[in-house]
Chains A and B, each alone.
Chain A
Amino acid sequence: MPRIIRGTVLIILVTALAACTRQSGQQGGGAPVTIAIEGDAGNCNPLFTTEVTANEISELIFPALVSSEFDTSSGRLTFGPMLASSWEERSGGRDLLFHLRTDARWEDGLRVTARDVQFSYELYGDPDVASVRQGSLDGLRKTKQGTIDASQSVEPLDDSTVVFHFEKTYPGMLFDAGLPILPAHVFDTTPRKELRSLPPNARLIGAGPFTLDRWEPMQNLTLRPDSSSVLPKPAALRRLIFRVIPDYQARLAHLKAGEVDIMAGLKPEDARQIAGEKGAVSVVSIPGRRYHFIGWNNIDGEAYGKSGGKTIRAHPLFGSAQVRRALTHAINREEMTKAFLGEYGREAVGPVSPMFRWAYNDTLRPLAFDPRLASSLLAGEGWKDTDGDGILEKRNRKFSFELKVPAGDELRSRVATVVEEQLRAVGIEVRIEQVEKSVFWQDLMQKKYDAWIAGFEVPLQMMLDEFWGSDLEKYPFNLVSFQNKRVDEILAAAEGRVREEETSHLWKEFQSIIQREQPCTFLFWVDTPVGVNKRVQGPSIGVLGITQQAWQWSVEEKNGGPGR
């Protein structure tokens, strides 16, 4: 018996040693770049992509009329030629005429034509297809019946020319015209209703710099260069692999060990540690487009719900701007930002991200953390502690409410804990409740919550009426139910102007109003630290997505394989 045990142990030890030396020699010459992702990329068909990664992949595979770039010094989105070699405005700016390249071909050899463009937009807009990007067609010219019909508003003049007819000018025209284009000859054979039930990642025939090489569900997805692509050219990498590693610690471990090259969403402390090590991994910080806030329901949600949306009354606790300002003064946002995010976040003053330099009002400072000022503001509104239980009352109503937090979010949980304590110090009772994500958003949209913690990612185009327009029926994402006439005027005025310079002063005024009214307590903008192995050479990662410039990446060959 012992002999067998000894023998087995020996064999195991030997094989373990052999396994450990597996690194070298496997990755010479045209090495692949591996990106670690949390969840499976899933279906990369641009009609149905909901996840960020799938979005980015679909944009690498499928061509678009224009390419977008974000100019960090001015904070503006600029567009360049891609499938379209040039374009011009017609009819006073309401129509855009695109001249397509004649040399663009799909992977199977057929030319990319204007018909493909029209077909793609028909699919995006068709209710039977139920694409998630249906909203991008809202700006197109409507038919006589008032509906949107892509077959009429996206008009191919000939094989290489296509006209987009818009209802009116607005800043996002080129953005909406830049959706990924699908090959008509591949997808028109299937009835539109069944497109959603096609096997995922089937028929991904594109014309972009990459094409789908292999997809192992829940494990990895591999892209390889499309050698015939001219949009703009075939990728320089041999392979681009997206590897699924659901656990954060595992992703981090693999990044440090050099087994994956890129990992997004590093926690601030880990990013700091990696940057400080000055080893094989560097940290790139994508400036924040995502902000977290504590939402205060400005109106009485119960009355609103019961009356079917007719009764709009100020909320008994949060209806007053002075109370909301007091709440913001009572919460130490600066400390939380520093503690939880470090240098990868900054305090938020309003819903306009500091990266939009042309619109950001940098004269505004965040409201100072001053609990005593908060107490006096509250006292000024009539909130006093008359019975000595430590909680403020006014007209027999205690200042006590439930703070809803979506379950499973560690950052927001911690914020909620700190907020509860800091508000307790000024006499406000907060009860924290964690709610499942799916239920959370449903209830939130129905305005059932008094207070909650949520986050938004702002679009690259400055279009904020979804979130701040007074028409609560039309803008269900105005979660705090903020209503202000001047803001509506500003939003309407900014909507029609295409040139951002004209609207800059409007947006700055908008931010002052928000600062004064404090419809919600803005917490912080979160930067996304991305760990990138130094062997990946090429343009740095930017706001538009990690892989947006991936076709320009190359790998610096090092001897002996990635460091362990």
Chain B
Amino acid sequence: MTAFVAKRIASSLLLLLGLVTVVFVIMRLLPGDPAALFITPTVPRQVADRIREQFGLDQPVLVQYLQWLWNALQGRLGFSLVHQKEVGQVIAAAFPHTAALAITAVLLEIAGGVSIGTLCARFRGRFLDRLISSSALVLYTLPTFWVGVLLLAAFSYGLGLLPPSQTHSIGAETLGIFGYVLDYVVHLILPAVALAIPGAAGVARYLRTGLVSALDQEYVTAARSMGVSERKILTSYALPNAAIPLITVVGLDIGTLLAGALVVETLFSWPGMGRLTVLAIFSRDYPLVAGCALLSGTMVVAANFIADLLYAIFDPRIRIVS
């Protein structure tokens, strides 16, 4: 078991290093540079050159790379050119919002998907099952941003029930802690739902298939003949077995979400990692891009790793094989 864990950690770290190097190289190859931000009719050319010099952009790429790597290992990710502060601070301001959105979306996914999937398996073959399964298929293929657009048009601009953007209303600081949290949650609903719907549909379909096959197993028939209630069979016998493969699915999902659900963030003006990364790339804010790539890569890799780990813990067969 420890060998397995150690091997996975090692390969994950290597992967991260490769990722960061690739990102670094790509960014440096891009045309245009951050000093272009400051060019206006009134700014003389020497100023732009001086700014470039002050941020060490005139040194060879390899030197910049090694310097950045060395600083990163010590925890100093650099100075953002656009935001004029430490990259760590900028990311720390944006990441919690992404995390909140991702976690809420995944929780909604799991809750929705599991309950619907179980419902379908319970009434398999009947009208309800067929209706929900077909709708799940449709919902699963919906693009997230279109779901977002529909939700916005319906609930925000149409009915005016929910706020269309941002994380809080004006004056939210005056609310006191509970009110502030509630305000945040209200703003979180639409984007999280937009992200969760396709995911929940996928989870539901996946779970339904797993449950149906689990319910056909002999031990279930045996339990049924022993008089165990249908409900208990579902929750205690079939569900745990069917849920294991879900770990991988959800793990992948949460990894991607933590990396920043860019389109939804743009749609709802959610100040998260996705928007930050895109803006950074377009303003050629190299240190910030490198920091963001590092963080999102770490999220994906870590999520995969944890998912694999949990899978191995719950399913002894995997352990034996690897």
Contact = CB atoms under 8 A, between A and B. Distances in A.
A439 B30 CA distance: 10
- By Cβ-Cβ distance, the 4 closest A-B pairs, closest first, are A259-B170, A247-B269, A438-B36, A130-B50
A218 B83 CA distance: 9
A22 B179 contact: yes
A130 B271 contact: no
A246 B269 contact: yes
A466 interface: yes
B124 interface: no
A394 interface: no
Contact of A23 (B47, B171, B284): B171
Contacts of A246: 166, 269, 271
B296 to A, nearest CB: 20
A260 B34 CA distance: 33
A250 B167 CA distance: 11
Interface stretch (A132-140, A482-490, A509-517): A132-140
A259 B46 contact: no
Contacts of A456: 41
Interface of B: 31-34, 36-44, 46-47, 50-51, 54, 79, 83-85, 89, 93, 163-166, 169-171, 174-175, 178-179, 182-183, 186, 269, 271, 282-284
Interface string A113-129: 00000000000000110
A434 B75 CA distance: 38
Interface string A90-126: 0000000000000000000000000000000000000
B164 A19 contact: no
Contacts of B37: 50, 438
Contacts of B43: 132, 134-135
B182 A132 contact: no
Interface in A221-237: none
25 contacts: A15-B182, A22-B174, A26-B174, A130-B50, A131-B47, A134-B43, A135-B44, A136-B42, A196-B51, A197-B79, A246-B271, A247-B165, A247-B269, A249-B164, A253-B163, A257-B170, A259-B170, A259-B171, A260-B170, A437-B282, A438-B33, A438-B34, A438-B37, A439-B31, A466-B41
A73 interface: no
Given A42-B84, A439-B31, A217 B47 contact: no
A130 B271 CA distance: 31
Contacts of B175: 19, 22
A438 B283 contact: yes
A132 B179 contact: no
A50 B175 CA distance: 34
A132 B48 CA distance: 9
A50 B40 contact: yes
A4 interface: no
A246 B166 CA distance: 8
B84 A34 contact: no
Nearest to A407: B282
A410 to B, nearest CB: 14
Given A127-B46, A130-B54, A135-B42, A15 B171 contact: no
